[in-house]
């Protein structure tokens, strides 16, 4: 693999290794906000390590130095171009910029990536069908293929005009309503409770002979914000409802949470950030009084049953890429997997016609519609979609914007750098210095962005800090510039101006800045 190894390992010599790969070790989080004893006490029930065990003291010192936020904005930092480490894609920044495989996987692995890509793009069909390896769709579903939601492996878009909601959906959930249910959440047995009729997700499509559950409806109201220099920005505030409910009303306590599909790049690298490095940024009690109190979402791993760190999803509710893929197969397409073997998908006991529909299980292929080889390949594909290289990172305006990003306090949540674990299942993700610009923690973003839906330890106003790498290629890849969890922001400036709660200080500094500084900060984001 293209990485620097410790003495005694068999790897490329320093003379033959590109400079951006000359790094070993893994990061220590900068500025530990909780004392070691307090953090350990808070996380003891989960059994999560609060310090790194894969680093020597020398490595720890070196990693601490390289991941410390810079104070020099006169030039790019070393290795900054390759924001996805040695796996960074150097291909042209075109519509396929998010669909490239990691540059440091083997030739054999490239074959597995391409097979996974084919399965990711595969359209599933309803049962019974002559294409027995492809049937099992639904019976209720949002789309027929993974790629139809993750458009070009990138960002989804909200329904608008004649554009449907295939890349944005509504999560349906309610809080606990009894002591028993509260105990289930406290024990991490469930994240929340689905609607008794419509389940955990609204599915607007259905196989022949069955009705979809209903359709998302969005209304927008424009509201003007006056910035410090007198310029005015119009923000659109959405409200959500469901049209054409097919099986009666929603439960009165069911909340609607819109979720835009996020980009797929860099997921395998995120999966290999040491939990201790993420947890070191947690400060749930705001002990340093900076008004930033990120906290982890501790969840139960659906595969092992152990408590672990959630790091994927808008509320950090999912611990691994494989579990995320299984959840999407079940909820979005209605396909059963070994991890989630419900062939009826999200059909509930109240939807009897749905439960009576045939499924796509072929006993000769196993007891589920997507057997282990399918999950292996889709997971591998999802783990190895490369992060594109930075662009224009040495221009004066981008460097000035980076300085504004730091000085306005954006890095309090959007942590610039990590280095992945030393021992990873795939060596392509090992020891990589990466630049995701996220702490992967939950933050209260205020009432304007709140969806009112608790997910595990995430409250109705808390969201995981989304990674920013690749955000500047949104228009190139997806032909739009819709941001935030529901796509309400039509530009990066609008996205910043929606920040409330823990993000309000940074938002206010951005709003008070002059136009040149705001433009520079946006140019910096567009270079990621």
- Predicted pLDDT of residue 308: 96
Do 341 and 476 lie in one domain? The reply is: no
- 233, part of any domain: yes
| Higher pLDDT pick, 43 / 237 | 237
CA 376 to chain centre: 20
Range of the domain at 245: 110-263+318-382
220 and 140: one domain? yes
Q: Using 50, 70 and 90 to split pLDDT, how confident is the model at 470? A: very high
60 with 155, same domain?
no
Three-class secondary structure of residue 160 per DSSP: strand
Helices and strands, number each (H, E), in the chain: 15, 12
Chain centroid to Cα 33, Å, comes to: 24
**Final residue before a domain boundary, out of 349, 382, 415:** 382
**Pick from 329, 349, 382: which residue ends a domain?**
382
Q: Looking at the structure, do residues 125 and 211 belong to the same domain, yes or no? A: yes
- The torsion angle over the Cα atoms of residues 320, 324, 329 and 334, rounded to 10 degrees, is 120
Lowest-confidence pick of 22-26, 76-80, 355-359: 22-26
Q: Return the H-helix or E-strand segment holding 326.
A: helix 321-328
Q: Is the pLDDT of residue 450 over 80?
A: yes
**Rg of the Cα trace of the chain?**
23
Q: What is the predicted pLDDT for the residue at 249? A: 97
Identify the three-state secondary structure at position 452.
coil
pLDDT, residue 3, reads: 31
Residue at 258 is within a domain = yes
Q: Answer whether residue 21 is part of any domain.
A: yes
Quote the mean pLDDT of the chain. Answer: 90
Residue 41 CB contacts under 8 Å (≥ 6 apart), including other chains: none
CA distance 196 to 252: 11
**Domain final residue, candidates 350, 382, 414:** 382
Q: Indicate whether 432 and 506 sit together in one domain.
A: yes
Q: Is the pLDDT of residue 132 over 80?
A: no
Is the pLDDT at 15 greater than 70? The verdict is no
Rounded CA-CA distance 34/42 in Å is: 10
488 pLDDT tier (thresholds 50, 70, 90): very high
Residues 422 and 282 in one domain: yes
302-322: per-residue pLDDT in tens?
A: 889 999 999 999 999 999 999
Residue 2: inside a domain: no
Which residues in 149-250 belong to E strands, given as ranges?
168-173, 205-206, 215-226, 232-243
Residue 335 shares a structural domain with residue 471: no
Is the per-residue pLDDT at 8 higher than 70? no
Do 27 and 61 share a domain, yes or no?
yes
Which helix (DSSP H) or strand (DSSP E) does residue 298 occupy?
A: strand 297-300
Q: State the pLDDT confidence band at 52, using cuts at 50, 70 and 90.
A: confident
Contacts of residue 482, Cβ cutoff 8 Å, sequence gap at least 6? 155, 156, 157, 158, 260, 474, 488, 489, 490
Q: For 261, which DSSP code?
A: P
In this prediction, residue 9 has a pLDDT band, given cuts at 50, 70 and 90, of: very low
Question: What average pLDDT does this structure show over 357-385?
Answer: 94
Task: Specify whether 36 is located in the same domain as 131.
Answer: no
The CA-based angle 22-320-501, given to 5 degrees, is: 90
What is the chain's length? 528
Is there a domain that residue 330 lies in? yes
**Does residue 9 sit within a domain?**
no
Q: Give the model's pLDDT for residue 163.
A: 58
Domain shared by 66 and 170, yes or no:
no
- Omega within 30 of 0 (cis) for the link into 128: yes
Q: Is residue 3 part of a domain?
A: no
What are 310's strand-pairing partners?
297
Let me know if residue 498 belongs to a domain: yes
Question: Does the pLDDT value for residue 46 go beyond 90?
Answer: no
Q: pLDDT value at position 365? A: 81
Question: Which three-class secondary structure state does DSSP give residue 74?
Answer: coil
Strand partners, 238: 220
What values do phi and psi take at 375, rounded to 5? -65, -35
Q: Are residues 391 and 403 in the same domain?
A: yes
Arithmetic mean of pLDDT, 148-170: 85
pLDDT band at 6 (very low <50, low <70, confident <90, very high): very low
Asked if residue 223 and residue 131 are part of one domain, the reply reads: yes
Stretch (H or E) spanning 64: helix 57-67
Domain count, the chain: 2
């Amino acid at each position: 693999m293209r990485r620097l190894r410790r003495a005694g390992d068999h790897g490329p010599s320093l003379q033959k290794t590109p400079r951006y790969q000359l790094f070993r070790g893994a990061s220590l989080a900068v500025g530990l906000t909780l004392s070691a004893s307090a953090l350990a006490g808070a996380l003891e029930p989960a059994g999560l390590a609060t310090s790194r065990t894969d680093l020597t003291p020398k490595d720890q010192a070196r990693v601490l130095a390289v991941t410390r936020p810079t104070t020099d904005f006169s030039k790019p930092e070393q290795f900054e171009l390759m924001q996805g480490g040695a796996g960074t894609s150097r291909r042209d920044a075109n519509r396929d910029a998010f669909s490239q495989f990691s540059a440091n996987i083997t030739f054999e692995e490239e074959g597995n990536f391409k097979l996974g890509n084919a399965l990711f793009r595969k359209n599933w069909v309803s049962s019974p069908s002559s294409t027995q390896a492809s049937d099992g769709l639904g019976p209720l579903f949002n789309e027929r293929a993974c790629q139809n939601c993750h458009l070009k492996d990138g960002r989804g878009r909200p329904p608008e005009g004649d554009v449907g909601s295939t890349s944005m959906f509504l999560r349906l959930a309610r809080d606990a309503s009894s002591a028993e249910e509260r105990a289930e959440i406290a024990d991490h047995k469930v994240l929340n409770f689905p609607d008794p009729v419509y389940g955990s997700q609204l599915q607007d499509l259905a196989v022949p002979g069955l009705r979809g559950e209903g359709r998302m409806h969005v209304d927008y109201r424009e509201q003007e914000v006056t910035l410090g220099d007198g310029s005015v920005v119009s923000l659109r505030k959405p409200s959500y409802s469901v049209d054409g409910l097919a099986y009666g009303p929603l439960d009165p306590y069911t909340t609607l949470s819109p979720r835009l599909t996020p980009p797929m790049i860099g997921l395998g690298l995120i999966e290999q950030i040491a939990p201790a490095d993420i947890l070191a940024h947690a400060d749930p009690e705001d002990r340093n009084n900076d008004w930033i109190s990120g906290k982890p979402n501790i969840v139960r791993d659906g595969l092992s049953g152990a408590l672990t760190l959630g790091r994927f999803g808008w509320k950090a509710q999912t611990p691994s890429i494989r579990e995320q893929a299984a959840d999407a197969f079940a909820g979005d397409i209605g396909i059963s997997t070994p991890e989630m073997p419900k062939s009826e998908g999200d059909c509930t006991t109240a939807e009897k016609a749905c439960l009576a529909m045939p499924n796509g299980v072929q006993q000769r292929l196993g007891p589920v519609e997507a057997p282990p080889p399918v999950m292996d390949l889709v997971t591998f594909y999802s783990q190895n979609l490369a992060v594109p290289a930075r662009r224009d990172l040495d221009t004066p305006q981008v460097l000035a914007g980076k300085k504004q990003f730091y000085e306005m306090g954006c890095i309090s949540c959007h942590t610039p750098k990590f280095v992945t674990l030393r021992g990873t299942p795939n060596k392509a993700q090992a020891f990589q210095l990466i630049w995701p610009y996220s702490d992967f923690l939950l933050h209260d973003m205020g009432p304007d962005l709140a969806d009112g839906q608790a997910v595990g330890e995430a409250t109705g106003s808390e969201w995981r800090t989304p990674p920013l790498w690749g955000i500047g290629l949104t228009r190139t890849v997806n032909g739009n510039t819709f941001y935030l969890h529901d796509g309400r922001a039509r530009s990066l400036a609008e996205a910043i101006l929606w920040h409330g709660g823990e993000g309000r200080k940074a938002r206010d500094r951005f709003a008070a800045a002059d136009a040149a500084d705001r433009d520079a900060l946006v140019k910096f984001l567009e270079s990621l």
